[in-house]
Amino acid sequence: GPPPPPREWLGWRAKFCGECGAPLERRVPGGDSLERGVCSSPACAPERVVYENPKVVVGCIVRDSAGRVLLCRRAIEPCRGQWTVPAGFMELGESAAEGAARETWEEAEACVRVEAPFAQVDIPVIGQVYLLYRASLEEGSRFGAGPETLESKFLPLDEVPYDDLAFSSVVTALRFFAADVEAGSFGFHSCVIDKDPGSSPSDPASYRVTQASRVPPLPYPALGGGG
């Protein structure tokens, strides 16, 4: 049969039209099947709809030659003081892999070579899709702590502080990563995380990983190439 409808959205919604500033009405526009914010001003385009869609979070699992991974301790909320891989919201005008490298530069001051997509983690209840890439430091690159980071360091996989990681997506992806290292080959993973409404981003009791799948590794070309 047809796919199920989206889960109930409990998060923030736009209240005003971005074009004219008038309040939005919530209703199903003509020709649509979901309730949307529709501009209430008759002066705006007829039935101007404000579409709200999930955001993409991009980041890198950076591994060094000793097999350790680069973790950053967050200097900002949410989850200040907890550890994560370098990751953040994708910007307009960049590809996901470019964004992952940019976030790694901003948060860990590290120049990386993106090697392959590693995990897609969907978190529909908060409207986010994580795309995490495997990466390595470019030769000679330093690493450090950008403005949003207290400290960064490479940690062996068996010393990853799973109880002190900032996000369920990162916990999940690093567990996939450790399993692949154990198995001796990297795949591409995807899964869905369902969370309890209102739970903290990292409470391990508040989320479930479902629809997990893994395909064999996908090669990935160098960024910035013309070919």
Interface residues with Zn ion (CB under 5 A) are 17, 19-20, 22, 39, 41, 44
Pairwise CA distance, residues 107 & 60, whole Å: 11
185: tokens are 């080959």
Which CB sits closer to Zn ion, 25 or 148?
25
> Would you say 38 or 57 has its CB closer to Zn ion?
38
Count CB neighbours of 6 within 10 A: 10
| Smaller CB separation from Zn ion, 41 or 141 | 41
10 Å Cβ neighbour count for 169?
A: 30
Shortest distance, CB of residue 47 to Zn ion, whole angstroms?
A: 10
Tally DSSP H helices, then E strands, for the chain: 2, 12
Q: Which residues pair with 226 in a beta bridge?
A: none
Number of residues that make up the chain: 227
| Residue number, 4 or 42, with CB nearest to Zn ion | 42
Bridge partners of residue 116, in order along the sequence: 134
Of the two residues 41 and 190, which places its CB atom closer to Zn ion in the complex? 41
Cα four-point dihedral sign 149, 170, 59, 8: negative
